[in-house]
Each structure stands twice: as C-alpha cells, then as structure tokens.
Amino acid sequence: MRKGIMIGSDRKSRTIEEIIGLVQAAETAGLDSAWMANIFGFDAIMTMTLAARATKSIRVGTAVTPTYPRHPAAIAQQAVTAAAATDNRFILGIGLSHQRVIEGVYGLSYDKPAKHMREYLDVVMPLISGQPINYEGEQYTTRGIQLDAPGADKVPVIIAALGPIMLKLAGSVADGTNTWMVGPRTMEEHIVKTINHAAKTAGKPTPMVVGNFPVVLTNDPDGVRTKLHELLAIYNELPSYKSMLDKEGYDSPVDAALIGDEAALRKGIARIKDCGVTDFGAAIYDLEDDAFQKTVDFLATV
C-alpha cells in the first residue's frame, strides 16, 4: 500500500507557497503521493501541478475536482497539460460533489448524477489518451476534438465513488476511486469488493483504491476527538458520506478518523491495508504543535 497526504479537507487557509511546502515535506519524508481537495479556494489541478514542478518524484492528484461546473473536454485539456508539466506524475480525481453544492451554489441541475458521470467519462477517457472524439450524449456534446499534448502519457482518472453504480463506473471505465468517510469494514466488503469485481468483469487491471482518512497523531485522543468533532460535523449532513458512516455503524464522522499515538495509528493503518486499499491518504489535522511534520515523519516509518 502506497502512502500519501491529503490537503484541504480541514478547510484551513493556506498560501500557494505553504501548500507546495507540504508536498515538498511529504516527498522529503519518502511518501508516495499528495492529494488536494478542490473546495472554494485555489484550483486543485493548477496548485498540484505547481507543487509537482517544485518536487521530483512524488505523485500528485486531485481529491476531487467537481465535474458539473467544468466541461469534460476542458478538464481533459487541463489534465494532459498537468501531466506534461509534471513528468506524468499527475492523477486526475473527479467527482459529482453534492446536490446542495451543485444546485444551491452553482445553480446547476443535479439530475441523473450517474448518467452525468458516465457521459463525462465517455468524453474524458478518449481525450486523455490522445484519441479523437465525436460524442453526442444527453448532457454533453463534443465534436471534432483531439488533444495534442506532447510529453503527456495517458492520465490516470479516478472518481469519487461510494455507491454501487459509481463504483462499477470507477472499476470498468475509469482507473479507480478516491474515498472519504469510509470505515474499514465498509471499505473491504463494499468499496473494494465492488470496484475490483467491475474491473475484472471489464477485463481491466486492478483499480486504484485511494482511501483518505482524517489522521491525528496525539497522546490526548479524547481532547482531539472533541476538537475534531466540530471540524468534521459537515460530513454527517451530506447524504453520500452519511450513508457510508451508517453502513460502518459509526455514530459520528470522528469515528472514521485515525486518532492516537504511534501504536494506535500503526494498528489503524494496518487494518486499512488489509482492506485492499492501494493508496492511503492521511488528511493530517494540525491540532497540536508541529503536528503535520511529526505525522509525516511517522508515516515514513510505517
């Protein structure tokens, strides 16, 4: 199982230089990847491209960039540009976001989300492979486009998939999934089992399963849980995440976090590896002095 960090889930305000510094610290520690959530701040694709340009080996990706506000041909163009600029260390992570965001914030229709993602992938996947496309769908039309991006190999595409239909798309059409608020039992029995079966049925390689988890390395787990409760409360209000928490039997999003000393975190990470997760992403919540660097250094030893 590869290890990395996830940036942005804590919604902490950071400059471009600070974000690049986090990715550089992860690379220095020997971690494999850095992922960035695309919320309402810096564009994650551009930011992670800049971070990769300031590093040498670490893979970077988005976790995730919402699809509805961006035409699939436009995001494919961004992705191949990022790939060419990063020595092909960029992974495109996309997702539906949530109805309250797409309709409430952007004023767009969230109707038929699975159909939307299927058409989105029908456009993105050929384009990132350098193939020409003429596509007529219900939601998207793309005519006469072929991206010329010297230096860009085929970009891995993973989608935020939690439900059965989306997991089947992630395994059979895309290259994997990127998860959040999923417990280990649900990860093993639902996420990994469903996506791997879809990939096998479609004759595709074993997909990436990126499992992102809130992580706090601390000797005061009870105190941290109290602080973390407020920061994670929003995920109890979003149906897709709430369904995963309920499936695991969690009472609170805090239950999905890895909290404790090194021994406790090692045990939690080992359980995640046993679930079939291919890439572990630590969303490090900086709740104590020098927490980020301590946690990154610890992860390097796991």
For 2-299, the fitting CATH number among 3.20.20.30, 3.40.50.11310, 3.80.30.20, 3.20.20.60 is 3.20.20.30
Q: What is the pLDDT of residues 260-291, one digit of tens each?
A: 999 999 999 999 999 999 999 999 998 988 99
* Domain range summary for the chain, segments of one domain joined by +: 2-299
Helix (H) or strand (E) holding 160: none
- What's the pLDDT at 10? 87
Rg (the chain; Cα; Å): 18
AA letter at 253: P
Q: How far apart are CA 289 and CA 253, in angstroms?
A: 23
Identity of residue 285: Y
- Degrees to nearest 5, angle at CA 18 with 13 and 22: 110
Q: What is the DSSP letter of 202?
A: T
Question: Quick one: which H or E segment has residue 158?
Answer: strand 157-159
pLDDT for 187 beyond 90: yes
Give the Å distances, CA to CA, from 160 to 92, 182, 260: 11, 12, 27
Report percent pLDDT > 70 for the chain: 100
Give the CA distances from residue 57 to residues 37, 76, 86, in Å, rounded to whole numbers and listed in that order. 20, 23, 9
Whether 66 contacts 44, CB under 8 Å: no
SS3 percent helix, strand, coil of the chain, rounded to 5, is 45, 20, 35
Q: What is the DSSP letter of 206?
A: P
| Residue 11: predicted pLDDT | 83
Average pLDDT, the chain: 97
- What confidence tens digit (pLDDT) does each residue in 90-149 have? 999 999 999 999 999 999 999 999 999 999 999 999 999 999 999 999 999 999 999 999
- Chain CA centroid to CA 19, Å: 16
Place of tokens 């791997």: 196
Note the pLDDT of residue 29: 97
